[in-house]
Structure 1
Amino acid sequence: MMNPFELERYFARWEFTAPFLLSASDTEPLAMSELLRLASPEMSDAWANLSLGYTESTGHPLLRQAIADLYTQTASDEGGEPPHAISSDDVLVFSCAEEAIYVSMRALLKPGDHVVCLWPSYQSLYDVARSIGADVTLVELREEAGWAVSASEIEYAIQKNTRLVIINAPHNPTGSMPDHDTWRTIVKTVEGSGAILFTDEVYRLLEHGDAVPLNAAATSSPRAISLGSVSKAFGLAGVRIGWIATRDAAIFRSLETYKDYTTICASAPAEILAIIALTNWSSIVSGQEAIVTANLKLWEAFMSDHESLFRWVRPTGGSVGFPQWLGEGSVDEFAENAVQEAGVMVLPSSVFRHGNPRVAMTNNFRVGLGRKSFPTALDRLGSHVRARYG
């Protein structure tokens, strides 16, 4: 039996009823017309004459190639070995990243296996494994350590029966990222242990400032798995396209076979839209980066004006951060007051308690930096904070 997905239940309650969202995890959604304007003549024709039948179970060939090309175009030899190429045959398309997570856990784990996962993190990354009967060790990221991923703590957590080591970088909800040296150490450690490295990379390409993206896990280790999506960096959550990339043929076959019991294939319109986005990834992501950068500055100015009430570790990637509430009462009370009195939804850290209500959490909450509506929501929160907390 699986635990209720606390984050998703919270969003189900407030996402479409609260007037102002300050904790959205994605970036600014693109309009259909905006995306279609980017289409090549060939893809415009493919869209106009699309047959709404079944699609290939592994994904549209052009989509799989566009994903493989993305890895090639964003690869780096930053201080280490050049990454290995990903081919279209290494890419398996899913109907969103969540399906890819579920299928990966179900296909690769059995009762008694051991899993290492960062925490806090997206609940399905560890709770699907628990529902299977796997033993999960959560490696905690700590605010006092800058939310930094510790390669030594991951190594310490690995056991003889560890099947998966699950990393999320850039990290949700903290926005932290390992540096390139730490990342290479983690890759080599997991590879040497015989476990499979599963990396949630849905925020990849949203690194802040001059930071160079980490090489995808699938390009860095022969048995690693990279999880990708058009939801976060591309602003296309409504398209519902995700994917897995892995150079391990046995892993690929396991996931492909299990997918026959879930969606079988992706939506034909969604695949065409994803192809258009991925072949125009640079311009789309640059626009989203600009929004995140502007909102990051606004949030830091807001905190400066209310330094007795908020503090944070500045995120280094992604479109989210994890500030701490320093004011009166718990963060749950702060969040409830904000949404009930001001219509501003903020996501409290209690939703990351990994299914155990007795787990103590710090007074943090997730802030989403990717939407154009952020300044309006922040103004509304500011008025609420001044009125209630002085």
Structure 2
Amino acid sequence: MTDFQAFAVEQYLSETEHGVHYNFSESGVHPMSYAELFELANVDRDALFATLVDYPQVNGNQLLRERIAALYQRAHADNVLVTVGATEANTLVAATLLEPGDNVIRFSPTYEQLAGNAHNLGYEVRSVDMHSTQDWAIDAPGLAAAVDDRTRIIHIVNPNNPTGQVLSADDRELIVAAARGVGAWIVADEVYSGTERNTDEPTASFWGGYERVIAINSMSKAYGLPGLRLGWLLAPESLIPALWRRHEYASITATMMSMQLASAALEPSARDAITARARGLIRRGFETLQKELSYHKGVFSVVPPQASAMSFVKFDLPVDSDTFSARLLTEEDVLVIPGSRFGVEEHFRFSSALPEEHLRAGLQRMNELTGRILKSA
């Protein structure tokens, strides 16, 4: 039996996030209210409220799958399986693709959901570094050394969680070449596409660039709708039935209400309005974060994220990331995720795509704790 590996990031959130006042631990933009969603997506309330609270189409209703497919080049509804968040999609992929003797490649730091599933199913997980001193670029020799003829999945989160970096063209080519060389699948978690800071052009999907790609996304991050718990995977049509059969065991289906609201949110004009809201929060929030991080000179630094609501902040203090995060929580009612939960010390993950007044107040509290630590050193 393989020793069970807890999902370090989600365990930390489960144990700490409820009741905290200044929660900067989440990785998506500030969630919308139902009222805001109904307004931005022009939801027909009468039609919605007349809908029976019944089981929906198990693989996702036709309109929703068509709107999801329209986000990708040369995709159609039969390439789409609607899931309960991107987390279920990752779980289904691990259960469907992996066979005895296979290994999985992950990049560090990253969100561990798929890699953790693979480990807990008894498969080997190999880690390839991404270098902070090179804007979190992939260690090319490390990737070449890790991949072999038993590599079944190369898993990438792009834009990255926790760093917010978008893969360079060179790094994308490295991944595709490595996968093609051994016939591996690229499983691309693309939940932060649409959250770019410096452009309104969404990060390109891996879909369409290589024949063995599964693209995963959800309504949680770029759309500010995590409570819908609705995600999807896009895969070659021939693979969908095997994933669907496992979906019936895992959850049977997402909810009728989630599918209806996701369909409304992904209507093109509604989607434009919702992603514009997200980008506004992301861009303003990062400016505020940068300003407050400069309060104590030389203590904090960050490779500016190209996308996402979060930053992976490096700090120079005489405490480790667990201690700094614990003191923030107990002394200042501020929650961040320590870098240790991503296997990287002297960092913490911080989400800044939040209402301005709340963000500033929490950052001031972080600076107050930092001052006390510096004074006692």
TM-score (norm 1): 0.90
Q: Secondary structure at the match of 2:82?
A: strand
Match of 2:31 in 1: 29
Q: Is the alpha carbon distance of 1:96 and 1:173 closer, same or farther for their aligned partners in structure 2, counting shifts above 3 Å?
A: same
Q: Secondary structure at the match of 1:311?
A: strand
2:338 aligned to which of 340, 348, 351: 348
Q: Is residue 169–residue 201 contact of structure 1 (8 Å, CA) maintained in 2?
A: yes
Give deviations 1:259-295, integer Å, cap 9, x for gaps. 1101111100011111111111111111111111111
Match of 1:325 in 2: 315
Q: Secondary structure at the match of 2:354?
A: coil
2:366 aligned to which of 381, 384, 390: 381
Q: Is the alpha carbon distance of 1:182 and 1:121 closer, same or farther for their aligned partners in structure 2, counting shifts above 3 Å?
A: closer
Unaligned ranges ≥5, structure 2:
none
Q: Which amino acid aligns with 1:335?
A: S
Distance 1:102 1:385 in 2: 39
1:369 aligned to which of 319, 335, 352: 352
Distance 2:210 2:138 in 1: 19
Match of 2:254 in 1: 266
Distance 2:134 2:71 in 1: 33
Q: Is residue 207–residue 214 contact of structure 2 (8 Å, CA) maintained in 1?
A: yes
Distance 1:64 1:172 in 2: 26
Q: Which amino acid aligns with 2:63?
A: L
Q: State the Cα distance separating 1:331 from its structure 2 match.
A: 1.7
Match of 1:253 in 2: 241
Q: Is residue 149–residue 177 contact of structure 1 (8 Å, CA) maintained in 2?
A: no
Q: Is the alpha carbon distance of 1:388 and 1:27 closer, same or farther for their aligned partners in structure 2, counting shifts above 3 Å?
A: same
Match of 2:5 in 1: 3
Distance 1:313 1:37 in 2: 36
Q: Is residue 24–residue 370 contact of structure 1 (8 Å, CA) maintained in 2?
A: no
Match of 2:105 in 1: 116
Match of 1:68 in 2: 69
1:162 aligned to which of 142, 151, 155: 151
Distance 2:188 2:120 in 1: 20
Q: Is residue 40–residue 274 contact of structure 2 (8 Å, CA) maintained in 1?
A: no
Q: Which amino acid aligns with 1:265?
A: T
Distance 1:236 1:45 in 2: 21
2:284 aligned to which of 284, 291, 294: 294
Q: Is residue 114–residue 162 contact of structure 1 (8 Å, CA) maintained in 2?
A: yes
**Identical counterparts, % of pairs:** 28
Q: Secondary structure at the match of 1:176?
A: coil
Match of 1:236 in 2: 225
Q: State the Cα distance separating 1:151 from its structure 2 match.
A: 4.9
TM-score (norm 2): 0.93
Q: State the Cα distance separating 1:107 from its structure 2 match.
A: 1.2
Distance 2:261 2:193 in 1: 20
Match of 2:295 in 1: 305
Give deviations 1:99-138, integer Å, cap 9, x for gaps. 1111110111123111111122222221111112211111
Match of 1:337 in 2: 327
Give deviations 1:309-332, integer Å, cap 9, x for gaps. 211211111111111120122121
1:38 aligned to which of 35, 40, 45: 40
Distance 2:282 2:136 in 1: 20
Distance 1:368 1:287 in 2: 16
Q: Is the alpha carbon distance of 1:151 and 1:278 closer, same or farther for their aligned partners in structure 2, counting shifts above 3 Å?
A: farther
Match of 1:50 in 2: 51
Let me know the Cα RMSD of the aligned residues: 1.8
Q: Which amino acid aligns with 1:377?
A: G
Q: State the Cα distance separating 1:55 from its structure 2 match.
A: 1.0
Distance 1:86 1:2 in 2: 37
Q: State the Cα distance separating 1:45 from its structure 2 match.
A: 4.3
Distance 1:143 1:98 in 2: 26
Distance 2:360 2:240 in 1: 43
Q: Which amino acid aligns with 1:48?
A: F
Q: Is residue 95–residue 265 contact of structure 1 (8 Å, CA) maintained in 2?
A: yes
Q: Is residue 321–residue 338 contact of structure 2 (8 Å, CA) maintained in 1?
A: yes
Match of 2:305 in 1: 315
Q: Secondary structure at the match of 2:208?
A: helix
Give deviations 1:34-69, integer Å, cap 9, x for gaps. 11123457x444312111111111101111111112
